[in-house]
Amino acid sequence: MENKETEINAVQAFCAALGSDNVKLQEPMKKHTTFRIGGPADYYLCPHSVRELQAVLHICRGEKLPFFILGNGSNLLVSDKGYRGAVIQLWKNMSEIERTGTRIRAQAGALLSKIAAAALEDGLTGMEFAAGIPGTLGGAVVMNAGAYGGEMKDIIKEVQVMDQEGNLLNLPAEKLELGYRTSIIKKKDYIVLSAVLELEPGDREEIRAKMDDLKERRVSKQPLELPSAGSTFKRPEGYFAGKLIMDAGLRGFSVGGAQISEKHCGFVVNKGNATAEDVTDLIREVQEKVKERFGVELEPEVKFLGEF
């Protein structure tokens, strides 16, 4: 915490804006990440509307508190020391899904799996690739998430975002600068509030069959039985990270409780009680060995939050 006065002022202001049930202090972040790793956040806040989110940002600016927007905590490694600031979670509290014709409008906290299920129910195709990605729409839009040949850029029509000052902007797809794991939203630190997805009419049984096939491929090839942050490294140009790591002889390589998955070398898994330090040490070792063996720089896809 910055100091006692700042803490008291911030707590009072957050409770007034959100209600005390939606404000937690010194909240362990390992409870809120798919890695099951991370020390305490000074403030853990759950706004339920755009207005409440604006109020939280206003308080953070006034108290000079850094903040971080959290979805369901996939693709994230939080420091063992936690986070000195406010973690603002947009997940179940902002996860409405509306369907109109071939379009689906969903709030940032909606899980991709839930949106894909809604598309299936309406016989809409185009969302199948995202059905098994363990994240929210907000994070998927920021990173232009993709899998099995599909990407969010293929289906996004427009996105509503909030800037750091609390102003609302509607961005059409052509202004999003969507690329491999990047977007204008990431570059400008915008906060995704909702997105409109444009899908196409399809055959419900074919859509279901494709989703089942992709699910089967995930279950058979990915270490879903252990906590992880998903794919640990970005795909290097002309290579596959998992294959490079495997070919470097690192399958099953461990540091403390962190391990290169024996099932898929592109994943670092938490075998039990792994620390963020274990994971970062493991990532560093892998990067060094792959660089030394193949001359390829592996860049982490996982986001790091806090002091490392």
Q: What are phi and psi of 277, to 5 degrees?
A: -65, -40
Neighbour tally for 209: CB within 10 Å: 12
99 counts as catalytic: no
7 counts as catalytic: no
Q: What tokens appear for 250 in the block?
A: 């690192």
183 counts as catalytic: no
Q: Give me the catalytic one of 181, 183, 194, 228.
A: 181
Beta carbons of 106 and 159 less than 8 angstroms apart: no
User: C-alpha 84: how far from its chain's center?
Assistant: 20
Q: Give me the catalytic one of 177, 198, 277, 301.
A: 301
Beta carbons of 137 and 114 less than 8 angstroms apart: no
CA angle 213/216/222 to nearest 5° reads: 130
Beta carbons of 65 and 86 less than 8 angstroms apart: yes
Q: Give me the catalytic one of 74, 183, 231, 261.
A: 231
Place of tokens 């049984």: 205
DSSP SS3 for 308: coil
Q: What tokens appear for 265 in the block?
A: 């070398």
Q: How many residues does the chain have?
A: 308
Catalytic residues: 181, 231, 301
